[in-house]
Amino acid sequence: MAFKLLWEDTFSKDGKPDESIWNYETGGHGFGNGEAQYYTDSIKNAFVKEGILNIVAYKEKYGKNNYTSAKLTTYGKKSILFGRVEVCAKLPLGLGTWPAIWLLSDAFKAGTSWPLCGEIDLMEHVGNHPGFVHFSLHSKSYNHLNYLQPTHIVEDPKLTEGFHEYAFEWDEDELKFFIDQKHHVTFHRGDENRLTDEGGWPFHQPFYLILNLAMGGWWGGSIDDSIFPVSMQFKYVKVYERI
């Protein structure tokens, strides 16, 4: 498969993230996972400085929440349908951190419920299990609630050091996942007798990209309050179309 660069953000301008690409998604209701943070639209929780996008979590009271962080999305600005996505990121360390690079279909915002809308997890990592990066897909028939989601775990302690590129290539029938240009797994439409209708393979519609740093929750676990402030950092996001 050949690709052509469609858009990129190399975080070249200090200040708030580029508003032509990114939205701040706010809220503190736990997002279905019992998460402890409130996602704000404050520049202190998500900002660009010296070529790096920083998402920073703090221990601080915000409404009913005891932590703040940020969640950035491209919804309504930069949808993705097939091609290749590359995100260069540095993971945070510490108990309770739950950083993620992931995608939901545009249909989610239009009212299609999760997990029918589909979810692509390009990278998930939790601080209570350092060095283990997860790639996953979620659909109505195959998701973490029924323990049937296709998931692949890469174990490498070096992933907690410095920046690494997380990427996937996507077409009508498969998604291939990479770290630092190395291919790790391909999820195929029809694998393990998976349904090929909406319930099993909703990955044929536009999706939007999400970058966030959650705290705690059912997977993030107990939070070490000595780690704050704690940051997830990004060097670039690049999205390619097929040619």
Catalytic residue IDs: 119, 124
How far, rounded to the nearest angstrom, does the alpha carbon of residue 59 sit from its chain's CA centroid?
22
Compute the distance between CA of residue 41 and CA of residue 39 in angstroms, rounded to an integer. 7
Pair of tokens at residue 56: 């920073």
CA distance 94 to 228: 9
Q: Please report, for residues 34, 87, 119, the alpha-carbon distance to residue 209 in angstroms, rounded to integers and kept in the order given.
A: 22, 10, 10
| 3-state secondary structure (DSSP) of residue 1 | coil
Residue 60, both tokens: 């601080």
Taking CA atoms, 174 is separated from 136, 160, 187, 197, 208, in Å, by 13, 28, 6, 14, 18
Before 229, cis peptide (omega within 30)? yes
Residue 212 amino acid letter: N
On whether the CB atoms of residues 215 and 60 are closer than 8 A, the answer is: no
Q: Which residues of 219-242 are buried (b: 16+ CB within 10 A; e: fewer)?
A: bbbebbeebbebbbbbbbbbbbee
- Tokens 């097929």 — which residue? 242
